[in-house]
């Protein structure tokens, strides 16, 4: 993105080890935090998506999102012409979203605690699949009722560039390299920071092939 700058982690990017990198007063990058259990997480994603398949949602303005999405948990994030919201029913299947696997809730709680947020218990997990060229524009996560809880975001598969912005959309974002197994946690004074994902570059990962998966855990209700 023009006008942004890239964060230098001071680590060997292709195979960096577990570390904690501060992104802000309330934000932390936990490198390689879930790398060892990635295969099990991907198996759980596949099981969830057999029940509630990934789909390209429509924005209120009528645009097709480039990222394919699904959900699990008590509530799922949905977007259509009527707006952005959380709903307990998957509009594509007419049934409740799949239950959140215990492995997911444990992961989210451990990552949040490692970033200084104890007692985090998410009720929603957004599953995003990025293919080459897919991106997420700068936005704030404002649809959750409980904004005192942090956001926990997990990266699996192809590397991506996370855009970490400020509290105003016009503020220049920092480009943060994310690799397979990395987790970003933000909350507190950083909870409503603008953030996004730069268009995914083409590539191949041994576990995910030509795509990147992102799990985003939230306390929605």
Overall domain count for the chain: 1
pLDDT tens-place values along the chain, 221 residues long: 445 676 655 544 455 678 999 999 999 999 999 999 999 999 999 999 999 999 999 999 999 999 999 999 999 999 999 999 999 999 999 999 999 999 999 999 999 999 999 999 999 999 999 999 999 999 999 999 989 999 999 999 999 999 999 999 999 999 999 999 999 999 999 999 999 999 999 999 999 999 999 999 999 99
**pTM, full prediction:** 0.93
CATH assignment of the domain containing 214: 2.60.120.590
* Boundaries of domain holding 199: 5-218
Structure tokens at 106: 């444990």
Structure tokens at 220: 């929605």
Give the SS3 label for residue 161. Answer: strand
Contact 33, 183 (CB under 8 A): yes
Alpha-carbon distances of 67 from 64, 70, 146, rounded to whole Å: 9, 10, 25
- By residue count, the chain amounts to 221
């Amino acid at each position: 993105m023009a006008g942004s700058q890239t964060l230098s982690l001071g680590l060997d990017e292709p195979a960096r080890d577990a570390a904690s990198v501060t992104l802000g007063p309330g934000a932390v990058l936990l490198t390689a935090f879930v790398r060892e259990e990635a295969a099990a997480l991907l198996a759980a994603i596949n099981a969830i998506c057999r029940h509630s398949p990934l789909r390209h949602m429509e924005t209120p303005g009528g645009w097709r999102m480039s990222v394919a999405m699904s959900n699990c948990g008590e509530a799922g994030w949905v977007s259509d012409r009527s707006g952005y919201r959380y709903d307990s029913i998957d509009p594509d299947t007419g049934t409740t979203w799949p239950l959140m696997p215990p492995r997911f809730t444990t992961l989210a709680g451990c990552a949040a605690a490692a970033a200084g947020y104890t007692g985090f218990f998410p009720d929603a997990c957004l599953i995003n699949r990025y293919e080459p060229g897919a991106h997420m524009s700068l936005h704030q996560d404002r649809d959750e009722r409980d904004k005192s809880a942090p956001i926990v975001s997990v990266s699996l598969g192809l590397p991506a560039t996370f855009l970490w912005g400020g509290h105003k959309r016009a503020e220049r974002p920092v480009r943060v390299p994310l690799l397979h197994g990395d987790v970003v946690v933000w909350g507190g004074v950083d909870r409503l920071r603008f953030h996004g994902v730069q268009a995914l570059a083409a590539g191949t990962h041994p576990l995910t092939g030509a795509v990147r998966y992102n799990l985003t855990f939230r306390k929605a209700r």
